[in-house]
Amino acid sequence: MRYPFATISTLAWRNLWRNSRRTLIMLAAIAVGVWAMIFMAALMRGMTDQMVRNGLQTLPGEVQVHQRDYRADPSVVNSMAPPSRGLLAALLEPPVTAWAGRVRVPAVISSERGSRSVTLLGVDPAAELILGSLPEKIVAGRALDAPADRGVVIGASLARRLETGLGKRVVLMSQDTDNNVVDRGVRVVGIYHARLQGNEDRFVYAGRAAVQGLLGIGDAISEIAITGDDYRRVQHWYPRIARAAGDEFETLPWTELDPFLGSMLAVQDGFTLVFMVVVFLALSFGLVNTLVMAVFERVREIGLMQALGMRPGLILGQIMLESFYLLGLGLLVGNVLAVATLKPLATGIDISAVAQGMEMMGMGAILYPALHIQDMLMSTAVVIVLGLLASLAPAWRASRLDPVAALTRD
């Protein structure tokens, strides 16, 4: 035998199709398993992505600078002067792509028929626009146009709860630095729609200068939000900002501002792997069973080949190859299936029926599956490695058959 490998691969391939029905059933099982792995991984990734992105949007800026005590007590007392000198210079350098100083204080908004606690954001619309932290969609009216804009933009859900609407006056109430009540009537100039209803209820946007005037804090701000290139790489550049800001301020990346979001990404990979292994474990019983049957049916044949001089190693290789072909074909079909089903869903899956529950996890009413190449590679690796490991046992048994006993078996 000049080309033993070529021979056993031909043998393995043909053996695979001797009982084509069994092979096809097994193939279908593997394909469905692989499809499930990739599909679920894409869904879960879509969920985490969205949670992180939504989270980052309500916490705009991957890096934030605050007065030391602000995070413990986010009141107007703990505001700070706008950035100057060193910090300002650091903010104008790459990789910082945008930054904005904003006032962020608890407030109460009231209409004729209700009042709600909200977070009042005094923003500079131009700067926030680049930062991407303004509401995505204004459904009625207009967006804020300048820091001195004296109108407010509120969420659609908040407008419903307050039974107010575009063009109506509402009253904003908060506290100044001496804890005195400050309030002012403002007109609703715009109504926004957010992906999360909770955010619509929570955030009220107003011009920064107007809010500073209301609170009587001059040009002080509550926080500086900074965004850079990729939110996953924030660890690399935030220390520089922290140094520029100095000890007086607290500079934190989003992974620490919202540890829940931060750990989410790390947990995701491990979770996907565990899920894939579990799916595969269920699959492996079918696979091992198929191979054991294939070997069992061919005991005499294997005995004959051994008697003719085929070495045990080649017999082992042949069974392993058979399993490899099966797994490979299953992977191919499964991957194609996954891509084919995920492509049309890329525009989002409407899960509004369960949206209220999902919102508690920080998700919107539409789920966008995220197909990552690394998930496909990971599922391939899991299936091939574990599949071959599982087929070792029957293959090993086949290669260790005693030729005489095998040939004389009924």
Binding interface with other proteins (CB under 8 A): 106-108, 110-113, 115, 117, 150, 164, 168-175, 179-187
User: How near is the Cβ of 258 to other proteins at its closest, in Å?
Assistant: 24
The Cα–Cα gap between 385 and 158 comes to: 53
Instruction: State the minimum distance, in angstroms, from the CB of residue 177 to other proteins.
Output: 13
Query: CA–CA separation, 239 vs 381, rounded Å?
Result: 37
What is the C-alpha separation between 315 and 399, in angstroms, rounded?
5
How far apart, in whole angstroms, are the C-alpha atoms of residue 268 and residue 45?
7
The amino acid occupying position 126 is: A
CB-based contact 299:306 (threshold 8 Å)? no
Minimum distance from residue 66 beta carbon to other proteins (Å)? 21
CB of 151 to other proteins, least distance (A): 11
Smallest gap from residue 167 Cβ to other proteins (A): 8
Q: In angstroms, what is the minimal distance from the CB of 206 to other proteins?
A: 12
Closer residue to other proteins (CB): 85 or 113: 113
Residue pair 208/151 in contact by the 8 Å Cβ criterion: no
- Beta strands per DSSP E along 228-319: 249-253
Q: If we measure between CA atoms, which residue out of 388, 385, 400, 383 comes closest to residue 338?
A: 383
* Closer residue to other proteins (CB): 213 or 348: 213
Q: How far is the CB of 159 from other proteins (least distance, A)?
A: 13
Burial of 377 (0-12, 13-18, 19+ CB in 10 A): exposed
Min dist CB 57 to other proteins, Å, is 25
Angle between helices 312-342 and 373-399 (to 10 degrees): 150
* Torsion angle in degrees (nearest 10) through CA of 378, 384, 390, 394: 180
- The dihedrals phi and psi of 188, each to the nearest 5 degrees, come to -75, 110
**Torsion sign over Cα 250, 253, 254, 258:** negative
**CA angle 152–158–159, rounded 5-degree value:** 70
Upstream peptide bond of 95 is cis (omega within 30 degrees of 0): yes
Nearer to other proteins, 96 or 172 (CB): 172
Task: Please identify, using beta-carbon distances, which residue of 104 and 150 lies nearer to other proteins.
Answer: 150
Helices and strands in the chain, H and E counts: 15, 12
Could you tell me the smallest distance in angstroms from the CB atom of residue 81 to other proteins?
Answer: 24
Nearer CB in complex with other proteins: 196/214: 214
Strands 181-193 and 152-155: parallel
* Residue 67 beta carbon to other proteins: minimum distance, rounded to whole angstroms: 20
User: How many CB atoms are located within 10 Å of the residue 294 CB?
Assistant: 22
